[in-house]
Amino acid sequence: MNNIHDVRFFSGGNAIFTISNNKGNHYTYKIRKPKFTDNPNPPFFVKLLTGPQNTNDYTYLGIYIPQHNEIRLTNKSKYKYDSIPVKVIQWAIKQVADNKPLPEGYAIQHEGRCCRCSKVLTTPESIERGIGPECMKHFLMK
């Protein structure tokens, strides 16, 4: 199981992950960095997988603010703060940011690709972190 342990994963720029529980519920999210921005600390776009095609069927949820480890909704958000998908991602980010263990049967798993460049992860260390060695150097320089 590739559980996410480092909150920096969410601000990698190309993070795709699934949050699941012991009741069989699961939600898959994408958190993407804007392509063109002069902002050194931009908000990241958050989308939720809402259809059967796991490459295209995502619906805009809101923005992720890495400096505060929070999700914010915008005028274009298709969800409300009290909706389950918003509550789930807020909870998951807080668990990881606070370094809290997940309850029994819960998981926050990446898809086996680097959260920054989207390359397939192949070494055990990279798979564990959710980021490849070259991209990890970028995080260590921050």
Provide the pLDDT for residue 142: 55
4 confidence band (pLDDT: 50, 70, 90): confident
Mean pLDDT of 91-106: 94
**116-139 tens-digit pLDDT:** 999 999 998 888 889 999 998 877
Q: Give the global pTM.
A: 0.91
Provide the pLDDT for residue 141: 55
Provide the pLDDT for residue 44: 96
Distance separating alpha carbons of residues 38 and 44, to the nearest angstrom: 13
**11-40 tens-digit pLDDT:** 999 999 999 999 999 999 999 999 888 888
Residues with Cβ within 8 Å of 135's Cβ and at least 6 positions away in sequence, in order, are: 12, 114, 115, 116, 117
> 118 exposed, middle or buried (CB, 10 Å; 0-12, 13-18, 19+)?
middle
Q: Coil, helix or strand for 137?
A: helix
- From residue 25, alpha-carbon distances to 28, 66, 99 in Å are 10, 26, 23
1-36 CB burial, b ≥16 within 10 A, e <16: ebebebbbbbbbbbbbbbbbeeeeeebbbbbbbeee
